[in-house]
């Protein structure tokens, strides 16, 4: 096979929690009087929590101390986790389950590379925590995408070089991170049309043909 491992972003690739992020950030933005809509929300895709907060705060003239920013970020995360608590295995698309099963049967290693600090919690909620050979997330990195650190750590956990792995992403920032780390990349959703992608996926199972 061309590749020994697949490193998946989580939100928007394995499961879809975008709406939860939107609702939680919308509540914070309304509280502080910052403009926020779905177009602004798109700018937060693949971006860390604190960087997302800075994008939202840039829309208001108000100033916030670092302590206040941390409190706002924590409030957003608490609201988001309350929404995540409603998730269950039924929230995993059948396409995702089919693809993961086929890849495992082929002997391909599977990993998560997500900037989210809630990645393990989400995987536990939807019953997928045991499906991955490695999990690299916001708890083990200091730089968020488009920095490649989260993917480099995932490859390190798998004991593989970047060239042996494909990163699957739905955000341009994630594709940029993959390219910066020397990974092949597969874009899905809005990232499928990004020129920097090595591969473009219509559905997740398209991966199977690309790694053989």
Active site residues: 9, 11
Q: Which helix (H) or strand (E) holds 52?
A: helix 49-57
- CB count in 10 Å sphere of residue 97: 16
Name the residue with tokens 């509540």: 27
3-class state of residue 31 by DSSP = helix
Helices 49-57 and 66-84 meet at what angle, rounded to 10? Answer: 120
The span from the CA of 154 to the CA of 191, in Å, is 21
Structure letter (DSSP) for residue 44 = T
* Structural contact between residues 133 and 155, judged by C-beta atoms closer than 8 angstroms: no
- Strand-pair partners of 7: 111, 167
3-class state of residue 118 by DSSP = coil
Buried b (16+ CB within 10 A) or exposed e, 30-66: eebebebeeebbeebbbbbbeebbebbbeeeeeeeee
For the chain, give the number of residues: 212
């Amino acid at each position: 096979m061309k590749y020994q491992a697949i490193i998946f972003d989580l939100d928007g690739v394995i499961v879809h929690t975008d709406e939860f992020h939107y609702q939680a950030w919308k509540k914070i933005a309304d509280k502080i009087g910052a403009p926020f809509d779905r177009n602004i929300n798109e700018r937060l895709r693949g971006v860390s929590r604190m960087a997302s907060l800075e994008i939202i705060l840039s829309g208001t003239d108000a100033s916030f101390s670092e302590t206040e920013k941390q409190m706002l970020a924590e409030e957003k995360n608490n609201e988001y986790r309350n929404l995540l608590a409603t998730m269950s295995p039924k929230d995993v698309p059948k396409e995702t389950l089919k693809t993961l099963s086929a890849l495992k049967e082929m002997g391909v290693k599977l990993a998560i590379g997500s900037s989210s600090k809630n990645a393990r919690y989400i995987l536990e909620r939807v019953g997928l925590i045991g499906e991955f050979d490695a999990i690299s997330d916001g708890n083990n990195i200091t730089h968020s995408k488009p920095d490649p650190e989260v993917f480099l750590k995932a490859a390190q956990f798998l004991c593989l070089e970047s060239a042996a792995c494909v990163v699957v992403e739905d955000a341009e920032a994630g594709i940029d991170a993959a390219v910066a780390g020397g990974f092949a990349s597969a874009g899905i959703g809005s990232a499928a049309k990004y020129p920097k992608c090595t591969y473009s996926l219509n559905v997740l199972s398209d991966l199977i043909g690309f790694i053989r």
